[in-house]
Chains A and B, each alone.
Chain A
């Protein structure tokens, strides 16, 4: 290993008064080396982003570096002034952000934003800048470079935008690339491509890369070195093999253990049980009017979707964003109206009902939502949130609140929680409240829409366990929607793969993983990060 390009020593960054803890980063030290990727891993709030921002002098005004040192090419970055930073940024140290949509100026063409990098450092003539921009666009593998540099960000897909961001970061061949969760917002297949791109570019340009992520799968795919952060402190550091294969610290071990295994556990077939939910021929097309004299824009969210869920069974619905899986969940819930098709619960045709009749049947199928922050009304107390549905069905409030307390116990929360507001709970706790709300109406079927996607991996594991447990105890059936094949492998009896509004493959989980038939299924499976070197 050569000399470090960047050397962080004993970095302490103070948070403003009133924050959860006094220091965002407390005594962090690690090195970046040319040609190596260092993954900084940690759950949300671990201080990993602060480290990244400190490396570019982009810390918010409210936080202060208290002590420590960041050495880069012999200079202490912490004492660099504004002009010094301006010179370094983009030219020597570059950064790629998490959200490629918001990280690009929506009002400027991609080309302009690319050429700006040269302009910032007074390099090249405008004509050369354009040629260079084209070359860069080509290098990051974007199709039709001439079109791309004239395009606005919103005209590109998420992956394309991230490639453009990477092109921007590479423009001046920086010594260091800081990538702050660059693939978190992307689909798995896209993520796989971007990871590969970063890996390749880093090798060909011999860059030092600091890669921030919370996903151990990604770490397994890309890291040379790993730094594990927790509450602003380094708990473990070492080569990728060492940390992933022989974790020393308990925290690292716990984190790794929480990553769902890619091997589906054996499951009993439930195909002979009666059907709890049956979906036949669901169609849904969104039509966006575009004006008088042009064709309407149509988006097919669901096309001839058929499936059935047997009692006690969990059916997984997997696919990438835009595949229509969430639309199907909402169609099944009658949150949106289908163009065609029926949804049957037991012997009731839900699609034929309306108004009051529909409302009286709704309790039979309940939903758990994705975002633990958005799924609870911030202005209602937890007790009321759980009890509201029962009250709507005619249960007296007293009784409903009593039941709410029981349910809170059932999902592992303190019964006293009924008097508190959602913001007093953590993400995982809120998700439990959401589950309690769903259970309050004694449903037969639960639809879980990305119910664990927003949670940190350790919490994710707990919630998944809870779901599995409740399902078994209450004899529920479940439609489980997820983009994460690892999660699906752990919880689903059968999996339906969706692409562009259609189910392309539906099989028992083990069979699907072992023998994917459809090309798209194979692509999905191949893209799952960390698959090649399955973590412990």
Chain B
């Protein structure tokens, strides 16, 4: 198992390096650079000013040298410096990462939990009204653009009903501590997490349902029936456990991409996470910061994938620790 993890980590590092190199050049393909952005904002932009900024950012050096400097930094776990925000990239990301993790993991937990629950219900009562209702709802959530749900949710729950705060991570300036603070953050979390989770919930619902129906037909379920087991036990112990295997795989893929995919949600709900940080960094050509976010979110994907594989191996004894 350790060997398995070690192997995956080494492979992950290689993938990360490739991502760094690719993105390093990719990002620099975009027209404009941070100097241009800052010149625009300063309301003054003679060539000296722009040249000064470029020198300051190290953009005047040849690209391979810049890459080398960056990679060297990464090797010593230094993600570089954001000249734009005048702070180390690692610090900027560290400030935002917890919020993103909180958001995505909550969304993930909700979507997985409810998705499986609804999927099981639909499969258990296949062909009944409940099944149809769940299936139709899941399909609609699956087909609705996320940003649209977010807009409607704000209208419904913040503006009209005034139940939930519409933006941010906490009530600024309220100075809550302890439980109050947790509740406050929780209230802020509800809408973004629900919005982000809906699509995935729909996916898991559909997948769980389909997978359950498929497993239900397998021979070992017949064996279980032939033993005289109760339906509940058969469903739980035999059908569900086997049906969840593909869901686990898919969920692992999602968990990782959620981190980078929360851009829209974070934008609409003003959630101070790295999705927004990435978008801002992109718009401002904050190369180091953008790369940093990419490295971190890709690392997240890799970590989640690894965790999924470990979970999978835990659930499915057939898989051994082979590559």
Contacts and interface: CB of A to CB of B under 8 A. Distances in A.
A97 interface: yes
Interface of A: 56, 58, 85-91, 94-95, 97, 99, 102-108, 113, 116-117, 119-121, 152, 154, 165, 168-169, 288-294
B228 A90 contact: yes
Interface of B: 3-4, 6-7, 218-220, 222-230, 233, 237-238, 241-242, 315-318, 320-323
B149 to A, nearest CB: 36
Given A97-B219, A105-B242, A290 B226 contact: no
Interface of B is mostly: helix
A279 B278 CA distance: 64
B218 A86 contact: no
Given A97-B222, A290-B322, A168 B237 contact: no
A87 B224 CA distance: 13
A108 B237 contact: yes
Given A154-B317, A291-B322, A103 B225 contact: no
Contacts, number: 96
Nearest to A152: B317
Nearest to A83: B230
A11 B31 CA distance: 80
Contacts of A91: 228
Nearest to B4: A291
A116 B224 contact: yes
Nearest to B239: A105
Contacts of B233: 116, 119-120
B218 to A, nearest CB: 6
Given A89-B228, A103-B222, A288-B322, 4 more contacts: A97-B222, A119-B233, A290-B320, A291-B323
Contacts of B321: 290-291
Contacts of A289: 322-323
Contact of B3 (A106, A117, A169, A293): A293
A88 B228 contact: yes
Contacts of A292: 3, 6-7
A89 B4 CA distance: 44
B307 to A, nearest CB: 18
A106 B227 contact: no
The CB with the most chain B CB atoms within 10 A, among A86, A168, A288, is that of A86
Given A107-B242, A107-B317, A152-B318, A102 B218 contact: yes
A179 to B, nearest CB: 12
A108 B238 CA distance: 9
Nearest to A98: B219
Nearest to B229: A120
The CB with the most chain A CB atoms within 10 A, among B4, B218, B222, B241, is that of B222
26 contacts: A56-B225, A58-B225, A85-B228, A87-B228, A88-B228, A89-B226, A90-B226, A90-B227, A91-B228, A102-B218, A102-B219, A105-B224, A106-B220, A107-B315, A107-B317, A108-B237, A117-B227, A119-B229, A119-B233, A120-B227, A120-B229, A152-B317, A289-B322, A291-B4, A291-B322, A294-B3
